Structure 1
Amino acid sequence: MAYELLNNIRIIELAEVWAGPTACSFMGDLGADVIKIESFPRNSPTRPLFSNDWRVSPVGDGPPYERAWAHLQANRNKRNIALDLKTSDGIDVFNKLVKTADIIIESFSAGTIDRLGIGWESLQKINDQASLISIPGWGVEGIYKGYVSFGTGFDCVTGHAIMRGHPGRKEEEVLGSTHSDATVAQALIFAVVTAMQSRKENKKGIYIDFSQVQQLTTQLVSLYSEWSLNKRELNRMGNENKFIVPHNSFPVLGEYNWVVIIAENDAQWNNLCQVLDKEEWSDLDHKWSSIPGRIQDRELVNAAIGEITKEMNGNELCALLQSKGVIASLVAEPADLLASDQLGFRNWFQSLDNQFLGTRIYPGLSWSIDNFESSLNKPYGTLGEDNHGILKELGFNEGEIASFEKR
């Protein structure tokens, strides 16, 4: 369901893995003409070459790199061309694309595009109206210039990992997080719109040095402010909240089934007690009737609630709590989302045809926009799927295209 808000904007994507490709998919969702350049013969990290790779679907036919979920999820609403940028022919095609581009986004390690001869100065000579956004993990300049890292690495170096996880667990037991892959993708949309606005005012493109590490730090204000202002490190809280009890997940009937329950104030606590048939917990002479009392007895409160919920049906409990104004939700497995009434009401899931996997269900857009018509999504492009059409647009004749294909 792509919109037309970014119609007539062409984005050339030289990005791999998750953050950059997801951002470009978002902009394809909004109507931009995104042309994804994939390296050939080198494979993208999200295009595994062997069927026994855990990311490859066991169903369907065709090559493994066309059946990998990691690639499918982040590459819809794009056109695909495969180029070898280490050859003069590949660079020639790339330069012709640059002449037509509004934005180029690249996620190579710092210095790579300069070594390929397609850095900022070179691009400006070809098209001074195009903007370049470089998103290496550590930024373009600095003592870590050229270092390669991914989301789990950023999670550690920014301090995000140290503040996550359950109290008492060792740092190395904290599960890896790719939080930055989501936040960088959204921030990149802002960067693109900023570049287009700057061109509108100044009549030329700009260069944006976009550090993924620095972008992640904008999500960690409490961590840094606590240290800079108070010289305090935040304690790990797990599922808890320092000022709210209960604020945790609790067992319900079934194997490994859980619900999240939160009572932010006394009114929600009173209703929770009513649902659990423990109204005496909300009596004024009971210690737990007040927020300070519940905070002081956090572990006892959690244990008492868990003893009751473990005998209850999760769906029924959540529905009853929500009807009483208590914050509650099932801890869902991925497959459970397919049965979500809310996502179903919003028509979030889509069925799209896939050349190698048949008709598959895909996640929909992150938004809906009033007063704008939407069209069906284009599923991810196969490797080099649009080579012929794009080369024709760039002025290459059939003989030249055939010659490229033979090589």
Structure 2
Amino acid sequence: MSNNSASAALSGLRVLDLTRIRSGPTCCRVLADFGADVIKIEAPAGVDPNDGISGPRDGFDMQNLHRNKRSITLNLKTHDGMSIFRRLVQTADVVVENFRPDVKDRLSIDYESLKAINPRIILASISGFGQTGEYRTRGGFDQIAQGMGGLMWVTGHPGHGPMRAGTAVADISAGLYASIGLLVALSERERSGVGQWVQTSLLEAQIAIMDFQAARFLVDGVVPQQAGNDHPYSTPMGVYETSDGFINIGASGSGLWMSLCAALARPDLAERPEYATEADRFANRPQLNSELNAILSERTSEVWLAELEAKGVPAGPIYKMDEVFSDPQVRHLGMAVPVEHPERGEINLVGQPLVLSRTPASVFKCAPKAGEHTDEILRELGYADADIDKLQRENAI
């Protein structure tokens, strides 16, 4: 059954969520899952020309990204809408936005404007290419950042052209880096008493998660190339074909190589001079992979995985998504979290991959309807019912 209790980890923290698409919502989802009061601020129906860009409100993506939040509709292009927003800022700890950098300046939701209202406020800004520089006003999407950050050039099979990753790597990582930055800023505020401006971008996040591939160029001057399903510089480390499918094997280093040969019942491979060292195996990788595939194709994935585990060789199946969530270890880890939806009934959302022993994350409610909590939040700010009726008539909410 659904867990309908919020986490206590970030209780008392108020976050104003001005974000859309994926990077910003990913950041705010982390905070919401750990108990922050995340207020999703949206335009009233018909005001935002990009309304619906993230798909149906009750669809899988919106439900997964915006669970555990409250929603208020505000027309920030009106005087009254901005007045409400400023009152919210007075009560808030964090504001998160992922507009193009010039948009927040036009709306007066830049850091200097927010700091004048609440010196303790922390603003997190996620952009495509950074808050400064000649690309600052460009529109940024995940695949563009994947291309510019180097990921697409090392992904795919050699000679087949660049390939995007199968998930929104730049968007998601930018959101996660933003949440890290916010938590750092909140910790620092405990000492200083003042907030600050946290910034990241899809481009910076994409470059950062290239990690060893980026460092390989910066330190050694090597431009990494596509390696398909093989590891860029270690072997045997990649995808191998069995009689009924494919498995991953990671057997780099001399010890694991010897264990792999034992698991395959082929000690003769370990005696071959062309496979004697890690460098030799890498230099002769096409030949080695061909021999390994010929051996592995004689038995099923299940049989080989058992043999490899028995000899201590890291290996694993290659799942379709339905198989992922059927795996006993995935089920044990609770990565599919049930939550009740008023129209769809019980649905499963993706859990947080973090375990805290005392204050774990909790997925306790589905994504809100647009403006579902507008009246509730306005009353918390001191607005009377007559005021709320007037604001609705004037299309401020």
TM-score (norm 1): 0.87
Which range moves more in the overlay, 148-157 or 218-227? Answer: 218-227
Is the Cα contact below 8 Å between 1:11 and 1:33 reproduced in 2?
A: yes
CA distance in 1, matches of 2:10, 2:209: 27
* Counterpart for residue 16 of structure 1: 20
- In structure 1, give the amino acid aligned to 2:178: L
* Structure 1 residue 133 corresponds to structure 2 residue 121: no
CA distance in 2, matches of 1:73, 1:368: 19
> In structure 1, how many angstroms separate the alpha carbons of the residues matched to 2:127 and 2:193?
27
Q: Does 1:216 align with 2:206?
A: yes
**2:209 match: secondary structure:** coil
Q: Distance in 2 between matches of 1:385 and 1:297?
A: 62
Which residue of structure 2 lines up, in the alignment, with residue 296 of structure 1?
A: 283
SS at match of 1:219: helix
Name which of 197, 217, 233 aligns with 2:223. 233
User: Please, which of 318, 330, 334 is the counterpart of residue 331 of structure 1?
Assistant: 318
Which is worse superposed, 176-185 or 10-19? 176-185
**TM-aligned CA deviation for residue 290 of structure 1:** 4.0
Q: Deviations over 1:61-112 (max 9, x none)?
A: xxxx223222222112211112222222321221111111111111000111
Output the CA distance in 2 between the equivalents of 1:376 and 1:226.
39
Q: 2:265 aligns with which of 277, 280, 286?
A: 277
Cα pair 2:340 2:365 within 8 Å, conserved: no
Q: Quick one: distance in 2 between partners of 1:305 and 1:288?
A: 12
- 2:155 maps to which of 149, 164, 176: 164
Deviations along 1:127-173, one digit per CA (max 9) or x if unpaired, are 222121221112222111221111211111222322222211223x5
Which letter maps to 1:245?
T
Name the residue aligned to 2:94: 103
Distance 1:89 1:210, change over 3 A: same
Q: 1:275 to 1:19 in 2, by over 3 A?
A: same
Answer yes or no: is 1:68 the counterpart of 2:32: no
Tell me, in whole angstroms, the C-alpha distance in 1 between the residues paired with 2:272 and 2:57. 65
Letter in 2 for 1:278: R
In 1, are the aligned partners of 2:68 and 2:363 still within 8 Å (CA)?
Answer: no
Q: Is the 8 A contact 2:146 2:164 kept in 1?
A: no
State the Cα RMSD in Å. Answer: 2.4
* Structure 2 residue corresponding to 1:146, chosen from 114, 137, 152: 137
Given the superposition, is the C-alpha separation of residues 129 and 363 from structure 1 closer, same or farther in structure 2, using an over 3 Å criterion? same
Distance 1:219 1:142 in 2: 22
**1:31-80, Cα deviation, whole Å (9 max, x unpaired):** 211111122332545443xxxxxxxxxxxxxxxx2232222221122111
The one-letter amino acid of 2:357's match is D
SS at match of 1:321: helix
Corresponding residue for residue 39 of structure 2: 35
Instruction: Quote the residue 1:59 is aligned against.
Output: none
Contact 1:163 1:234 in 2 (8 A): yes
Alignment partner for residue 247 of structure 1, among 237, 242, 245? 237
Distance 1:96 1:21 in 2: 22
Percent identity between the aligned chains? 25
Tell me the number of residue pairs that the alignment of Structure 1 and Structure 2 aligns. 387
Q: Does 1:371 align with 2:361?
A: no
Which stretch shifts more, 337-346 or 268-277? 268-277
User: Are the equivalent residues in 2 in contact too, given 1:151–1:177 (CA < 8 A)?
Assistant: no
CA-to-aligned-CA distance 1:322-356 (integer Å, 9 cap, x gap): 23211111111111112111121222322111123
Q: Secondary structure at the match of 2:325?
A: helix
Q: What residue ranges of structure 1 are gaps of 5+ in the alignment?
A: 49-64
User: C-alpha displacement at 1:182, in angstroms?
Assistant: 2.5
Question: 1:218 is paired with a residue of what secondary structure?
Answer: helix
Change (3 A) 1:159 1:354: same
Assess if the C-alpha contact under 8 Å between 2:76 and 2:107 holds in 1: yes
Decide whether aligned partners of structure 1 residues 315 and 80 sit closer, same or farther in structure 2, where only a CA change above 3 A counts.
farther
Paired AA for residue 236 in structure 2: P
Q: CA deviation at 1:308?
A: 3.0
| Pair 1:359 & 2:346 matched | yes
What is the CA-CA distance between 1:183 and the residue it aligns to?
1.9
Give the secondary-structure state (helix, strand or coil) at the position aligned to 2:39.
strand
Q: Match of 1:308?
A: 295
Letter of the aligned partner of 1:170 in structure 2?
A: G
CA distance in 2, matches of 1:217, 1:302: 30
* Paired amino acid for 2:364: N
Equivalent of 2:185 in 190, 195, 208: 195
Tell me, in whole angstroms, the C-alpha distance in 2 between the residues paired with 1:287 and 1:232: 25
8 Å Cα contact 1:131/1:206 also seen in 2:
yes
Q: Deviations over 1:340-396 (max 9, x none)?
A: 111212223221111232211111121111133665522222221211211111111
Correspondence for 2:108? 117
SS in 1 for 2:127: coil
AA in 2 matched with 1:23: C
> CA contact under 8 A between 2:262 and 2:311: conserved in structure 1?
no
Q: Which has the higher contact order (CA 8 A, sep 6+)?
A: 2
